[in-house]
A and B are shown apart, each in its own frame.
Chain A
Amino acid sequence: MKNFEEMQSIWESQHDEKLFAVDDTALHAYIKRKGRTTRSLLELFEWIMIALNLLVGVALAVDLLRDNGSGYRLILPVTYLTFSAYALLRRLKRQANEVRFKPTLLGELDKAIWQIDYLIRQGQTMMTWYVLPLVLALSITVFYNQKSLWTLAPTLALIPLCYFGIRWEINKWHLPKKRDLEALREKLIAPEVH
Chain B
Amino acid sequence: MDESKQKQIFDEWLSQHKGIMFKIVRAYAFIPHDQDDLFQEISLQLWRSIPDFRGEAKPSTWIYRVALYTATIWARREKRQPPTQPLADIEHTLTVTAQQDHERLDWLYEQIGQLEPVDRSVCLLLLDGFSYKEIADMLGISESNVGVKVHRIKQHLIYKSKEVQP
A-to-B contact residues, CB < 8 Å: 1-4, 7-8, 10-11, 13-24, 26-31, 34-35, 102-109, 112, 180-181, 184, 187-189, 191-194
Contacts and interface: CB of A to CB of B under 8 A. Distances in A.
19 contacts: A4-B158, A14-B100, A17-B22, A19-B22, A19-B97, A20-B39, A22-B39, A23-B94, A31-B44, A102-B140, A103-B52, A103-B57, A103-B62, A104-B138, A105-B140, A184-B118, A188-B140, A191-B145, A194-B116
Contacts, number: 149
B95 A11 contact: no
A189 B95 CA distance: 35
Contacts of B47: 31, 35
Interface in B67-115: 68-69, 72-73, 76, 80, 91-98, 100, 102, 104-105, 108, 115
Contacts of B129: 8
A95 to B, nearest CB: 12
B69 A7 contact: no
Interface string B41-52: 001100110001
B18 A188 contact: no
Interface of A is mostly: helix
Interface residues of B, number: 65
Contacts of A18: 97-98
Contact of A106 (B57, B76, B141, B161): B141
Contacts of A193: 115-116, 119, 148-149, 152-153, 156
Contacts of B23: 14, 16
